[in-house]
Every structure is written in C-alpha cells, then in structure tokens.
Structure 1
C-alpha cells in the first residue's frame, strides 16, 4: 500500500485524495444523521400513537361508568 501511495503524483496525494476523503466523510455523516433522524421520527410517531390509544382507553372507561 505504501508503494501505491508513493507512486501517486504529488497533486493527487495533496488535492484529489483529501477531496475524496472529505466527500466520503460528508456522505457518511449525513447517512448517520438521516438514520438517527428516522429513528427519532419513528419514536415520536410511536409515542403519539400510544398517547392517542391511552386517551381512547380513558375515555371509553369514563363512558362505561356513565
């Protein structure tokens, strides 16, 4: 691997490789942000559904008492 790195022209090592690394890091970062955002979105939706279900249960119990 070291031979391959040393065989590259200096402009490739100093310009092209860092740009490729930055693009890959940027894509990985936004992939992680997207996954975390999706998980948080699913969690919020699940909490809303549980809250609505709890409200319905409470209202049905109150209606059954009347």
Structure 2
C-alpha cells in the first residue's frame, strides 16, 4: 500500500484523495442521520397510533358501560 501511495503524483495525494475522503465522509454522515431520522419518525408514528388506539379502547369501554 505504501508503494502505491508513493507512486501517485503529488497533486493526487494532496488534492484528489482528500476530496474523495471528504465526499465519502459526508455521504456516510448523511446516511447515519437519515437512518436515525427515519427510526425516530417511525417511533413517533408508532406512539401516535398506540395513543389513538388506547383512546378508542377507553371510549368503547366507556360507551359499553352506559
């Protein structure tokens, strides 16, 4: 690997490689935030559905008593 690195021209080592690393790091960061955001959105939706279901059950039980 060191031989390959030293065989590259200096402009590739100093410009191209860091730019590629930054692009890959940015894409990885966006991916991680996207996954976390999707999981949080799913959790919020699930909590809303559970809350609505609980309210319906309470109202049905209350209506059945009367």
Q: TM class, shorter-chain normalised?
A: over 0.9
**Matched length:** 66
Determine the C-alpha separation between the residues in 1 that align with 2:32 and 2:23: 14
How far the C-alpha of 1:64 sits from its partner, in A, is 0.6
Determine the C-alpha separation between the residues in 2 that align with 1:15 and 1:49: 51
1:1-56, CA deviations, whole angstroms, 9 ceiling, x for partnerless residues? 00000000011000000000000000000000000000001000100000000000
1:25 matched residue in structure 2: 25
In the alignment, structure 2 segments of 5+ residues that lack a partner are: none
Q: What's the C-alpha RMSD, in Å, of the aligned pairs?
A: 0.4
TM-score norm. by structure 1 comes to 0.98
SS at match of 1:59: helix
Runs of 4 or more, structure 1, over 3 Å off, are none
